[in-house]
Chain A
Amino acid sequence: KQEVTQIPAALSVPEGENLVLNCSFTDSAIYNLQWFRQDPGKGLTSLLLIQSSQREQTSGRLNASLDKSSGRSTLYIAASQPGDSATYLCARDRGSTLGRLYFGRGTQLTVWP
């Protein structure tokens, strides 16, 4: 079973802090890894996608890294804001069929003013 584990399960921080969200997965033979954001009762918004040939991706205040050998990915959020409050999900592919993903349970982030 291809498990995806996210740590911590929940995180509450004051505005302005730099954050690190962790994701680990079994089986280093992945094609890609994605980070999503999910607001309560809503669907998912894709944040960053890292292909297996890449080591990191950046978008604005977000940076995601991928270390296939250790089976880990990290999402960095710089200068956190209350609007960043959401659940962050990490997902890896299930094989060569793109779009079939294994998800972690997510990290629930609360950023307070």
Chain B
Amino acid sequence: GAVVSQHPSWVICKSGTSVKIECRSLDFQATTMFWYRQFPKQSLMLMATSNEGSKATYEQGVEKDKFLINHASLTLSTLTVTSAHPEDSSFYICSASRPGSNTGELFFGEGSRLTVL
């Protein structure tokens, strides 16, 4: 199956700092990637759709100025949590689908656990 890699796996930061999470598709080029967030005991919630070479599309209620998404290449999307606060502590997961796939099958990264002190 396709491989999607995330880095870092976990990160701890101080309140007010910014944190960048990378999502890479290792064996295919992904024109579109998706960023999800998962709070403990909650379902995964879609944050935004990352489009290569264009602006990300954010879901309702997600602050685009706080969660900066950059998809500068066909294999890399980054999510930057700016001025992080404890309530941003969560599990962030990215996903991608193979180009040309008409089924919508998604391949997920291993996730990045963010803890803001």
A and B held together in a complex? yes
Residues of A within 8 A of B (CB): 4, 31-32, 34, 36, 41-46, 49, 51, 89, 91, 93-94, 97-106
Of A45, A89, A98, A104, most buried by chain B (CB within 10 Å of CB) is A98
Known contacts being A42-B111, A44-B93, is A103 close to B44, with CB within 8 Å? yes
- 5 residue pairs bridging A and B, Cβ less than 8 Å apart: A36-B108, A44-B44, A44-B93, A98-B103, A105-B42
- Return A29 CB to nearest CB of chain B, in Å: 15
CA distance A4 to B45 in the complex (A): 12
- How many A-B residue pairs have C-beta atoms within 8 angstroms? Tell me: 71
Contact A100 B49 (CB under 8 A): yes
- Return A82 CB to nearest CB of chain B, in Å: 22
CA distance A94 to B48 in the complex (A): 12
Contact A98 B101 (CB under 8 A): yes
* Chain A residues positioned under 8 Å from B6 (CB to CB): 43
* Chain B residues positioned under 8 Å from A44 (CB to CB): 44, 93, 95, 106, 108
CA distance A104 to B102 in the complex (A): 23
- Return A78 CB to nearest CB of chain B, in Å: 22
* Chain B residues positioned under 8 Å from A42 (CB to CB): 110-111
- Return B95 CB to nearest CB of chain A, in Å: 7
The digit string for B1-19, where 1 denotes a CB below 8 A from any CB of A, is 1001010000000000000
